[in-house]
Structure 1
Amino acid sequence: MNDADLARAAGWLSQADGLLVTAGAGMGIDSGLPDFRGPGGFWGVYPALGRARIAFEEIANPAAFARDPRLAWGFYGHRLDLYRRTEPHAGFRQLLALGERLPGGAFVFTSNVDGQFQKAGFPAGRVCEVHGSIHHLQCAAGCCDAIWPADGFVPDVDAAACRLRNDMPHCPHCGGLARPNILMFGDWQWVERRSAGQQVALADWLAAVDRPLCIEIGAGNAIPTVRRFSERHGWRLLRINPDEFRVPDPARGIGLAAGGRAGIAQLCAAPG
């Protein structure tokens, strides 16, 4: 993006009355979180799954909890521990500060399940996690629609084997196995009540603002949930992505070929 585009984006920000932040997996890369795009990348992080030729779509699947729950919880337990230990990069707080300058504030729509926006200071009531959250649990057998925090579960994972060593979490209602409250592949048992409530709050916020600037970070085309949402909502769109940065309407959108942290920093430094 050239200086003229940066100035144009900064001008949009000055005219906006709200900030709609939409984010995919690329948002966390600058915080050190792994990128699962492609089997090579995923198996590079989880070599035990690579040796067994288990793809991301197979382990991130409710069938994995039925077939081999210690392996499934080895994968999700490792991720839960990683996300708890990871500090959000500076771009998160820069977005928070941008939103605080606008009358309507900021609202986040994300496919990420890591809780990084809340950890960076975004109010929980202003975050919509469309695919759920790893920090919440539900019954794997679907005995009820209860959702509860995962705070009491501290996973002990054998990283070399990708297997959970300690006790697996259980449903407090039926005593059966618990699983993350995340929408997985081939998932008909996901309890979407929490996410549905967040989507209602987001719809209310969108109805209350007239000129929300949408800043999309790290959302790809492979699973286009976030990109489609960005293109349907927002008064103007700034798409930050190192590879898939093109926008459908250049009159109403700008594409910035950059990673999340660098792109946000460029916007914050632009005159306007």
Structure 2
Amino acid sequence: MDNDIAIKQAADWIRDADGLLIAAGAGMGVDSGLPDFRGAEGFWRAYPALRHHGFSFEDIANPAGFASNPRLSWGFYGHRLALYRATVPHAGFAILRTWASAMKHGAFVFTSNVDGQFQKAGFDAERIVECHGTIHRLQCVEACTDDTWPADDFSPIVDEASCLLENEMPTCPHCGGLARPNILMFGDWKWVDKYTDREERRFATWLESVQRLVVIEMGAGRALPTIRRFSERHGPRVIRINPRDYAISSAVGLGIPGCASETLQLLDKALHSST
């Protein structure tokens, strides 16, 4: 489909919708200046100290590290926590909120990102499913409880040259053992999913009320296709925005090549030019 035609069709879908489902992968945050971990080189550019260790993203984003080298694991996650706290969401977030405000049932967000950017941008926290968890909550490394708690009181100090945490590591208030982010990691059998399960139940209830759903998927690649598969289950009006992997079956939706922020601004312009 020609790009101009795709944008016009997408704008028509958005205008007609009574509910907006926002599906977001890692590419959504890249436009806000967050690092792209795609491929070893991209990961090592963000964390050069881990190149020295020979660690890939899969190696460090792994619960085993909290037993073998907890200061390195917390150096990695502590740096990310501080970075996400300091990041300002890009203009596309505000555009999505404006569109949703004109729809009867508003918006619901489904994201694999753990950065909390949608909450920071003003989206209702009770209308966000974080399917891989969040860095802004903690849990016990040993999952001694199914409780999770806010990371607000933890202010990491990280030596960027070594990627090691320099201050005290957070602990579990129940057993006194080490705490970790409430994030689904690779090879993770102790992730506490109670928080995410509750979010998914809220989403199911919201979805039942929507009659004319439009899905806007952004920054979701094929390497970890969780978001892409989720979107495709909620067609036939899926708008897939991606610089490279924008292909989608016409029975499910349409694809638009581009980054999230820039493409959302193009769609917003198309919406206003035809009203």
* Structures share fold, TM-score greater than 0.5: yes
CA distance in 2, matches of 1:136, 1:56: 21
1:46 aligns with 47
CA distance in 1, matches of 2:252, 2:50: 43
Counterparts of 1:1-272 in structure 2 under 5 Å?
A: 2-248=3-249, 250-270=250-270, 271-272=273-274
Q: How many residues align?
A: 271
Deviation at 1:142, TM superposition (A): 1.4
Asked whether the 8 Å contact 1:17–1:104 carries over to 2, the reply is yes
CA displacement 1:16-72 (0-9 Å, x = unmatched): 110000000000011000000000000111111101101110110000101000000
CA distance in 2, matches of 1:69, 1:5: 48
Long gaps (5+) in structure 1: none
CA distance in 2, matches of 1:41, 1:7: 34
Q: Secondary structure at the match of 1:179?
A: strand
Identical aligned pairs, as a percentage? 58
Q: Secondary structure at the match of 1:171?
A: coil
CA distance in 2, matches of 1:15, 1:96: 16
Please report the TM-score for the alignment, with normalisation by the length of structure 2.
0.97
Q: Secondary structure at the match of 2:110?
A: strand
Asked whether the 8 Å contact 1:70–1:164 carries over to 2, the reply is yes
C-alpha RMSD over aligned residues:
0.9
Asked whether the 8 Å contact 1:240–1:258 carries over to 2, the reply is yes
Which one-letter code corresponds to 1:262 in the other structure?
A: E
Which one-letter code corresponds to 1:114 in the other structure?
A: D
CA distance in 1, matches of 2:252, 2:39: 31
CA distance in 2, matches of 1:5, 1:24: 21
CA displacement 1:50-102 (0-9 Å, x = unmatched): 01101110110000101000000000000000000000000011101111110
**In structure 2, do the counterparts of structure 1 residues 225 and 131 end up closer, same or farther at CA, with 3 Å as the change threshold?**
same
Which one-letter code corresponds to 1:134 in the other structure?
A: I
CA displacement 1:154-181 (0-9 Å, x = unmatched): 0000011000000000000100000000
CA distance in 2, matches of 1:4, 1:46: 41
Long gaps (5+) in structure 2: none
Q: Secondary structure at the match of 1:50?
A: helix
**In structure 2, do the counterparts of structure 1 residues 191 and 177 end up closer, same or farther at CA, with 3 Å as the change threshold?**
same
